[in-house]
Amino acid sequence: MSHTAVEYSGPERVFSGVQPSGDLHLGNYLGALKNWVELQDAHDCVYCIVDLHAVTVWQDPKKLADQTRNIAAAFLASGVDPAKSIIYPQSRVKAHTELAWYFNCVARVGWLNRMTQFKDKAGKNSEKMSVGLYDYPVLQAADILAFKGTHVPVGEDQKQHLELSRDIAAKFNNDFDVPAFFPLPEPLIQGPGARIMSLRDGSNKMSKSDPSDNSRINLTDSADVIAKKIRKAKSDAGVIPESIEEMDGRPEVANLVGIYAALSGQSQQDVLSEYVGQGFGVFKPALADLTVAKMGPITELMKRYLAAPDEIDRILAAGADAADQIATPIVDDVRDIMGFWKV
């Protein structure tokens, strides 16, 4: 990083988001939510349900609001506490879309052309995708920077989008000669939970959009379903090895060991040492028990929150007001910096 004389020295703030485009799964929990909960005691945290990102692909208008409540219930059930953190839907705070437009005029086409997630999602059909899907990472930068977010807890798949956010922040600061205005947000990508893979194929990440439901553990799955999915998970005829290097070329094994480590809070090496020499007839039932023990209470709590949608709506409305109060003055400053007319 170049060392300008003045750099952002404002307060630290954690910002992250999840799309309301389907049920959350174990990858979302271990890659994102679990870390969000750990951060909220010592930091100022803003957690957003990014519905504007969700509509970059078709969303049924009859379902979108309920999907948003569903994600809010998952946040709350995982332990995100509205007394400590701000929780709100992105579309209720206008600063996101406004700043995204200004950033559209800062970001370069070449930068967006390099985004691998767009290429993965669009495949051969890029000409038929929405302009929003292509522009998605610019809106993400606006999300974070409308709050001057300094730290962004996400899974590994968001690394490139975070680099783009930093590039946009740095170019804005540089173009308008305000070197201390935006922080360069840092990704917090932590531990074995940062990249959870499909239970059916260790080379694909666990994803909401995988057509096979057996590929993922949903936050809404019952104990029986969780146990069945883990029993059916792809593994091999070998045993749990002694060292991490020995899992090279065995992606499914590495994934199951990684899930165990992330859920139990141990290192992967500790898990290997505990189970070395055991086959999957032993390891899978242990993993199923651990997963049910950790996820069962979250599933139950989620059901309770979903039975009280008015309570969720109250939390989201209060969160949106609090978010608006932070983001609006920041975007007003951006307008001044860019020199727009005002009275």
Which residues of this chain interact with ligand AMP, rule CB under 6 A? 18-19, 27-28, 30-32, 154-155, 157-158, 194-196, 205-206, 208
User: What is the C-alpha separation between 25 and 46, in angstroms, rounded?
Assistant: 21
* CA pseudo-torsion sign 43, 44, 49, 51: negative
Stretch that binds ligand TRP, among 4-12, 154-162, 240-248, 252-260 (CB under 6 A): 154-162
Shortest distance in whole angstroms from residue 316 CB to ligand TRP = 17
H or E segment at 48?
A: strand 45-49
Q: Which is nearer to ligand AMP, 247 or 259 (CB)?
A: 259
Residue 205 binds which of ligand TRP, ligand AMP, none (CB < 5-8 A, kind-dependent):
ligand AMP
Q: Which of 128, 131, 97, 91 is nearest to 112 (CA)?
A: 131
Q: Which is nearer to ligand TRP, 16 or 255 (CB)?
A: 16
Q: How far apart are the first and last CA of the chain?
A: 38
Q: Which is nearer to ligand TRP, 45 or 292 (CB)?
A: 45
By three-state DSSP, how is residue 18 classified? strand
Residue 144 binds which of ligand TRP, ligand AMP, none (CB < 5-8 A, kind-dependent):
ligand TRP
Q: Which is nearer to ligand TRP, 22 or 279 (CB)?
A: 22
Give residues with Cβ within 8 angstroms of 260, minimum separation 6. 266, 271, 283, 286, 287, 290
Q: Which is nearer to ligand AMP, 195 or 284 (CB)?
A: 195
Per DSSP, which regions of 200-280 are E strands?
none
DSSP of 49-88: E-HHHHTTS---TTTHHHHHHHHHHHHHHHT--TTTEEEE
166 near ligand TRP, rule: CB under 6 A:
no
Stretch that binds ligand TRP, among 139-147, 228-236, 246-254, 325-333 (CB under 6 A): 139-147
Which of 17, 183, 202, 319 touches ligand TRP (CB under 6 A)?
Answer: 17
H or E segment at 95?
A: helix 95-104
Distances (CA, A) of 233 to 212, 214, 284: 12, 8, 9
27 near ligand TRP, rule: CB under 6 A:
no
Residue 15 binds which of ligand AMP, ligand TRP, none (CB < 5-8 A, kind-dependent):
ligand TRP
User: What is the C-alpha separation between 193 and 155, in angstroms, rounded?
Assistant: 8
- C-beta separation of 215 from 201 below 8 A: yes
Binding mask 43-62 for ligand TRP (x = CB under 6 A): -------x--x---------
Question: Is 119 tagged catalytic?
Answer: no
Question: Is 342 tagged catalytic?
Answer: no
Residues in binding contact with ligand TRP, number by CB under 6 A: 13
Active-site residue, from 34, 205, 229, 234: 205
Shortest distance in whole angstroms from residue 206 CB to ligand AMP = 4
Place of tokens 């000669």: 177
Residue 182 binds which of ligand TRP, ligand AMP, none (CB < 5-8 A, kind-dependent):
none
Q: Which is nearer to ligand AMP, 15 or 103 (CB)?
A: 15
Active-site residue, from 84, 121, 171, 284: 121
Question: Is 208 tagged catalytic?
Answer: yes
Shortest distance in whole angstroms from residue 234 CB to ligand TRP = 25
Burial of 342 from C-beta contacts in 10 A (0-12 / 13-18 / 19+) = exposed
Shortest distance in whole angstroms from residue 242 CB to ligand AMP = 26
* CA angle, residues 45, 118, 109, in degrees to nearest 5: 95
Give me the active site residues, please.
Answer: 121, 205, 208
Using CB under 6 A, list all residues that contact ligand TRP: 15-17, 19, 50, 53, 140, 143-144, 152, 154, 158, 161
